[in-house]
Structure 1
Amino acid sequence: MRRKCRIWWPKQLSSTQQLSYNLLFGWFVSCSSDSLDIVVAFASNHESSSNRQSPLQEILHSINGNMHESLQDKSKFSLLGHHRACLSSGHVFCNGVEEDDLRKSSAYCADGTSRCCGQWSCGCIKLDSLLDECKQMSMESNYWIELAYDSLHVHARDIRWIPKLHRIHWNGETVARCDVHVCKSDCFCCLVIVYETPTYGAHHFSLRFWNSSDHGKTSLKKPQWVDELHQKQPLNDLDTVILAINSAAAAKKFFEKHDGERSSANIPIIWMFCALMWHLLAMSVASLSTFFYIFLQFSHSFLNFGPQSWVCAASAKAFSNTWINIRIRCCQILYWPIFLQDNDLRSQSSVECAEKVALHKHSMWSSLVVDILLGNLIGLALLFHAESVCLWVSKFASDFTNELLRSGCVWLMGVPAGFKLNIELAGVLGMISLNTIQIWSTLWMFVGSLFIYFIKGLAISAIIFGMTIPAALVIDMITIATLHVSTLHWLISILYSQQLHALAALWRLFRGRKWNPLRQRLDSFDYTVKQHVVGSLLFTPLLLLLPTTSVFYIFFTIMNTAISLSCMCIEVIISVIHATPYIKIVLRLIKPRRCPSGIWFEVIACQSNSSDSPWSTSIDKTNLPFEEVPQKEDINSIISSVLISILHSNYLSIGHMVLPHYRKAYSEVSGSYFATSVLGLLSGNKIASTLGATLPSTMPWLFIPHKEYWCLCRNVILACNVDCNNH
């Protein structure tokens, strides 16, 4: 049985030569009896163990308690083993004394200390009493490793020294160096994977792919060998390994807190100045937020008090889009300090989880800031050109009323496009439409003098509250201003649809069929002669009047659809502003490494088992083409080698990052929505005038004292600066 061991090694430990005894800390991850992943988080000199205030086991237990829950369930943070210097000839040295001489003489180290005091029965070098106790406890958990540094002849990616597995205790068995590098039927295969330690704000690793959910939607039947493959025990647990790698920096930080040799450096003056400026920024933002908080609380209390409550309810119905966006904006202003609080401290141990939490925390205020910036740009432009905008809107409304509505109705009352219509019915429908248009135009003449103030108020609201609220207000105002068109369309559509239903029912009468509403089907039915005569008398005029009704219905449907499409375009803009992940896009443009999507390995060197020390094969190709895949006769030589590879990440593109958010926002819009709309237009039924895009959910109204809210805003901004410095 071939045993497989993968050592996940930090890159910084291979950049410089290490000559002293060092202890390795990390995780043993095993998902099968013949496979083991050793994730090395960091290395520490064991001489500093005497300077720590707490015992090493208590420190390890404390660090493990601060790790992510998923990582605690799969593996425990522990002392992995130790490593020492190794020359290229393959001899291991401990503080200047060769290991073979140490075994023969059982002598102390060259400096006379008791750090190396003989050997164990298994052949391992003895350490001091404290570390020997830790080793015994680690061996009780079935694993302990001894590594030695070996020089890598090809300096790839600043990697000069590679750990060489000297001895490993595996489930009570000791596998020595000779067993590692000799190819047998039950040989040992070792793989060293060098990774760059993830740090918050720099990079991390992730196994999630942007299109991973697409693979689960296939309806094809899987072959039997696929199901059998899934039932087999996996060879590795990459999820736990990647989680451990992402937690390496946090484990090292927790370990250094217990290090007695940490020195307190003097704080530079520039840092003190930056801290002072950050305090001023926190106080300014907190004061501005508290001002808006007081204004919102006063407005909320005023609108819900006594006689004003019915005004609030009526305005919520008339200006539904504006009311929803005002509610969303109020929740964003009230709750942004709540979202910036650190509620799950344990998730901060993993860089990937910390990045997710940070993106979730900063998504609200980033959307708020972008919305206000866009509102300021459009609001200032609208404020400076209010008169010209007012004249343009007035001219457009006049042209729409006179050139399209009135002229169109007069045209339909005559002979439109050469069609001979029913003069009486066309005259009645035309006169009703013209009178409605005239009455509504007369009412808006009194409002036209106040339209300039509406434009300025719209600009000021955009500057203060952002772009989405005035955009929603524009939708509601367009709906109210074109209420006469929608009303005429509704009346004509009722007449048109009832006429179609009557003609369909009469046509079934002639065919001897009757609609069964219980079974939802057509059944045979014997009609009387009188029913056929009455049906014939009704069918003929209804059929002859259908072209006249259809022409008016088509005209007002085109007008109403054009108005609805303009409102839908503004609705799309509002939903895009809310759904766009601005903080993710900024991070992707500035630091693409903070947006990983999957991993890949770059093989840089390969040590054949036929030679003990020198690296016989070196590879420096990031992407090997398919033609360079080893042939069957070369597989055994590669498998029986010690491979050195580097862990890399793939990165999300901006499109793949933004697309899931837009899909979520427009999850209700599908092909059936457009098919239903087209069918409703043809049959005269009512159709939806909005897309129904998903907007951010609103939260309950927040009631806390003003002073407490100000302190909360200030504290969360100061905490953001502290978190950045800690990471």
Structure 2
Amino acid sequence: MRRKCRIWWPEQLSSTQPSSDNLLFGWFVSCLSDSLDIVVAFASNLDSSSNLQSGLQEILHSINGNMHVSLQDNSKFCLLGQSRSSLSNGQVFCNGMQEDDLRKSSDGLTGCCRQWSYGCLKLDGLLEQYRQMSTGSDYWLELTYDSHDLHAREIRCIPKVHHIHWNRELVSRCDVHVIVYETPKYGAHHFSLRFWNFSEHGKTSIKKPKWVDELHEKKPLNDLDTVILAINSATAAKKIFERHDGFRRSRVNIPIIRMFCAFMCHLLAMSMASLSTVFYIFLQFSHSFLDLGSQSWVYSASAKAFSNTWINIRIRCCQILYWPIFLQDNDLRSQSSVECAEKVALHKHSMWSSLLVDILLGDLIGLTLLFHMESVCSWVSNFASDFTNELLRSGCVWLMGVPAGFKLNIELAGILGMISLNTIQIWSTLWTFVGSLLIYFIKGLAILAILFGMTVPAALVIDMIAIATLHLSTLHWLISILYSLQLHSLAALWRLFRGRKWNPLRQRLDSFDYTVKQHVVGSLLFTPLLLLLPTTSLFYIFFTIMNTAVSLSSMFIEVIISVIHATPYIKIILRLIKPRRFPSGIWFEIIGCQNNSSDSPHSAFIDKNSSPSDGMPQQEDESILISVLHSNYMNIGQMILPHYRKAFSGVSGSYLATSIFGLLSGNKIASTLGATLPSTMPWLFIPYKEYWCLCRNSILACLQSY
């Protein structure tokens, strides 16, 4: 079977024509015996790599030790081979011999000398020993360059396979696919095979077809996951290699600018650390004060009444306490792969970006409330008065008459209406005294928004709406109990007339023989219950509409809180600035395809199947495909949709159907959506000075990484 080889070639090596021989470093990735992926990370000049002779094994071991664990398990970083420039007239010099000399001397050479006759340059010292070990065990690659001007790109030279030592066999003919890629860099771009809607924990069927299991048992043709991981690790491998080999990037030293930037970074870090420490001290004192009264009934009652506020305050306090810890860079192994480093950085910066945006929104809302306090108080008072008088009182009076032409039971409508009006009047009288404190509540809400962000006062508004409409929810609960009992009684009496009985153990209807007395009593109860049902239904519908409107307003605020917490602000900002940092799959652009016949430089190779009577060796055509690796990129909608799905994962698809059934049957329905909020963490206790140093060092480390 004809062998196939894919060479993943860095774009910077194709932008200029090499002037001398180079050593190639990277990874060999092989899944099948006839297929090989060669990921070239970088090339090192053969003349300038004299420092490698004494410590090549140590350098390669150090690079492998710093790579991702998955990459270490599947492939090892090694010296791939060597590359050299092609000479004119289709001739290649190999150890001082030209094509004719090479053809004459090739029959008498064996072992490593024969390998040299195929074009392997003899290296110096330990490098030659390492090459011999490589060719004797797994793989060794010999490349030449071919000049191109493809598709108006800056691709001036493309590598051509001279020969490959493939599992102790010398292969000079194979199908070659050269894939030019741009080396990934942190903060610029990287490659990823994962799509935006990819889920590692997808639902699988209980019973799979047999061909699915057989397909999974087959060995894959290639390991693209390892290849992409190696490409994303090429920059880290090159940096480690240059550090060991003595290379240093030249930087323009401008002392004044560098000193000014360093001073500004330290000033910003100290300012942010001081502000965070002030919050830290305030939170510690508040936490200690609340611990003293945690066993009292006042604390328990307030925790139940203001449950949403307590949860959001706890989340905000944890974010303020833990954001410098999240900025600490503890996972050094993940920095080897650009993709892993990007994910770690996004996770690291997600907390403080969410905290910053929330506080900015809270400052905007808080300052607006402070500047328009009187108008806000006036609007809230007018709205509460209109809601009580125009809707609740007028609605109850309307139901006590002839609503929409329906003839209701006057006695029952009068009783229900008077109970409702008295409850509304008592609650309105109580809130008359509370209304004088409304302006102070607005001030506290504004200060809370400025200090803790928008989500905490929004949660407080939800709790205050629940407290302010307690009379409405109580009336709705009482009417729903009456309505539900009437429906269940009518259903039970209807089953009596049909000779059926509900079996609660088997959850089904069974036949049952009722007596004559039971039928008579059932008939006497069924008629008044059925005639009173329209009156109860209209009161239930009225209070259900009012209570549902209040619940929807609270749910709307709850959705706003969940959206604020779930929105990936740092991802959106980076996506607008650098879209290439968010890849979603790869694709190949074919820019060249050619077949090399016997007039190519590879005609110097001797085919083992050639006949001695032939004047020249017989050769097969060699196909070379040249393409460029590209990435697809996520848009903003694709990027934030998984976060919103996770935030609202608790809202089941049957929530709407369950709510409608509960409203029709008079059962209790949930007044909240149950959206997922960020998890809280244990309370943090460290000294103030240590916390200040932690904040400063975290900000400095973050600024220096950029």
Taking structure 2 as the reference length, the TM-score comes to: 0.92
Distance across 2 between alignment mates of 1:684 and 1:141: 78
Q: Match of 2:504?
A: 517
Q: Does 1:50 align with 2:50?
A: yes
Distance across 2 between alignment mates of 1:656 and 1:307: 45
| SS in structure 2 at match of 1:641 | strand
Q: Match of 1:201?
A: 187
Instruction: Report the CA distance between 1:723 and its aligned residue.
Output: 2.4
Q: Match of 1:488?
A: 475
Q: Does 1:64 align with 2:60?
A: no
Residue 286 of structure 1, aligned match among 261, 269, 273: 273
Q: Deviations over 1:640-694 (max 9, x none)?
A: 5201100000011111111111111111223311111000000000000011111
Residue 146 of structure 1, aligned match among 139, 142, 153: 142
Distance across 2 between alignment mates of 1:639 and 1:541: 98
Matches within 5 A, 1:442-591: 442-591=429-578
Matches within 5 A, 1:427-442: 427-442=414-429
Distance across 1 between alignment mates of 2:554 and 2:64: 56
Q: Does 1:685 align with 2:667?
A: yes
Letter in 1 for 2:73: D
Q: Match of 2:239?
A: 253
Q: Deviations over 1:235-291 (max 9, x none)?
A: 110000000000000000111111224377573221221122111111111111111
Residue 350 of structure 1, aligned match among 319, 329, 337: 337
CA, structure 1 residues 62+102, in 2 after alignment: closer, same or farther (shift >3 Å)? farther
Distance across 2 between alignment mates of 1:455 and 1:216: 47
Distance across 2 between alignment mates of 1:48 and 1:83: 15
Residue 667 of structure 1, aligned match among 649, 654, 671: 649
Distance across 1 between alignment mates of 2:519 and 2:103: 119
Instruction: Report the CA distance between 1:149 and its aligned residue.
Output: 1.3
Instruction: Report the CA distance between 1:589 and its aligned residue.
Output: 1.1
Instruction: Report the CA distance between 1:529 and its aligned residue.
Output: 1.8
Instruction: Report the CA distance between 1:610 and its aligned residue.
Output: 3.1
Instruction: Report the CA distance between 1:378 and its aligned residue.
Output: 1.7
Distance across 1 between alignment mates of 2:162 and 2:117: 16
Shifted more, 708-717 versus 404-413: the winner is 708-717
Q: Does 1:704 align with 2:691?
A: no
Q: Does 1:365 align with 2:347?
A: no
Q: Match of 2:26?
A: 26
CA, structure 1 residues 401+174, in 2 after alignment: closer, same or farther (shift >3 Å)? same
Is contact 2:20-2:46 (8 Å) kept?
no
Q: Match of 2:322?
A: 335
Letter in 1 for 2:481: I
Distance across 2 between alignment mates of 1:611 and 1:122: 16
Shifted more, 550-559 versus 507-516: the winner is 507-516
Distance across 1 between alignment mates of 2:684 and 2:134: 52
| SS in structure 2 at match of 1:663 | helix
Instruction: Report the CA distance between 1:217 and its aligned residue.
Output: 5.6
Q: Match of 1:158?
A: 154
CA, structure 1 residues 190+104, in 2 after alignment: closer, same or farther (shift >3 Å)? closer
CA, structure 1 residues 51+355, in 2 after alignment: closer, same or farther (shift >3 Å)? same
Distance across 1 between alignment mates of 2:442 and 2:362: 14
Q: Match of 2:170?
A: 174
Is contact 1:144-1:170 (8 Å) kept?
yes
Letter in 2 for 1:83: S
Q: Does 1:389 align with 2:385?
A: no
| SS in structure 2 at match of 1:584 | helix
Instruction: Report the CA distance between 1:708 and its aligned residue.
Output: 1.1
Taking structure 1 as the reference length, the TM-score comes to: 0.89
Q: Match of 1:2?
A: 2
Distance across 2 between alignment mates of 1:158 and 1:262: 26
Distance across 1 between alignment mates of 2:302 and 2:57: 66
Q: Match of 1:720?
A: 702
Q: Match of 2:127?
A: 131
Q: Match of 1:409?
A: 396
Instruction: Report the CA distance between 1:514 and its aligned residue.
Output: 1.4
Is contact 2:94-2:120 (8 Å) kept?
no
Letter in 2 for 1:698: T
CA, structure 1 residues 288+105, in 2 after alignment: closer, same or farther (shift >3 Å)? farther
Is contact 1:340-1:361 (8 Å) kept?
yes
Letter in 1 for 2:259: M
Matches within 5 A, 1:204-215: 204-213=190-199
Is contact 1:208-1:597 (8 Å) kept?
yes
Instruction: Report the CA distance between 1:592 and its aligned residue.
Output: 0.8
Q: Match of 1:271?
A: 258
Q: Which runs of 5+ in 1 are unaligned?
A: 107-116, 181-187, 615-637
Shifted more, 426-435 versus 45-54: the winner is 45-54
| SS in structure 1 at match of 2:146 | strand
Q: Which runs of 5+ in 2 are unaligned?
A: 106-112, 602-619
Q: Does 1:642 align with 2:624?
A: yes
Q: Deviations over 1:315-338 (max 9, x none)?
A: 211011111111110111111111
Is contact 1:331-1:698 (8 Å) kept?
yes
Is contact 2:589-2:630 (8 Å) kept?
yes
Instruction: Report the CA distance between 1:225 and its aligned residue.
Output: 6.2
CA, structure 1 residues 467+412, in 2 after alignment: closer, same or farther (shift >3 Å)? same
CA, structure 1 residues 121+527, in 2 after alignment: closer, same or farther (shift >3 Å)? same
Matches within 5 A, 1:81-100: 81-87=81-87, 89-92=89-92, 99-100=98-99
Q: Deviations over 1:128-178 (max 9, x none)?
A: 1221011022224310001111101436421111111112100101123xx
Q: Match of 1:184?
A: none
Q: Deviations over 1:334-353 (max 9, x none)?
A: 11111111121101100000
Is contact 2:94-2:116 (8 Å) kept?
no
Q: Deviations over 1:474-501 (max 9, x none)?
A: 1111111000000000000011101111
Number of equivalenced pairs:
681
CA, structure 1 residues 372+639, in 2 after alignment: closer, same or farther (shift >3 Å)? farther
CA, structure 1 residues 669+541, in 2 after alignment: closer, same or farther (shift >3 Å)? same
Q: Match of 1:652?
A: 634
Distance across 2 between alignment mates of 1:562 and 1:412: 19
Instruction: Report the CA distance between 1:609 and its aligned residue.
Output: 2.5
Distance across 1 between alignment mates of 2:46 and 2:217: 44
Distance across 1 between alignment mates of 2:70 and 2:168: 27
Distance across 2 between alignment mates of 1:93 and 1:347: 44
Letter in 2 for 1:236: N
Q: Match of 2:589?
A: 602
Q: Deviations over 1:533-556 (max 9, x none)?
A: 211111111111111111110000
Instruction: Report the CA distance between 1:119 and its aligned residue.
Output: 7.4
Residue 677 of structure 2, aligned match among 695, 704, 715: 695
Instruction: Report the CA distance between 1:94 and its aligned residue.
Output: 7.5
Letter in 2 for 1:35: S
CA, structure 1 residues 307+215, in 2 after alignment: closer, same or farther (shift >3 Å)? closer
| SS in structure 2 at match of 1:32 | coil
Shifted more, 503-512 versus 393-402: the winner is 503-512
Distance across 2 between alignment mates of 1:309 and 1:158: 75
Letter in 1 for 2:21: Y
Instruction: Report the CA distance between 1:312 and its aligned residue.
Output: 3.1
Matches within 5 A, 1:374-385: 374-385=361-372
Let me know the Cα RMSD of the aligned residues: 2.5
Instruction: Report the CA distance between 1:230 and its aligned residue.
Output: 4.1
- How high is the sequence identity, in percent, across the aligned residues? 81
Distance across 2 between alignment mates of 1:90 and 1:227: 51
Q: Match of 2:611?
A: none
Is contact 2:71-2:230 (8 Å) kept?
yes
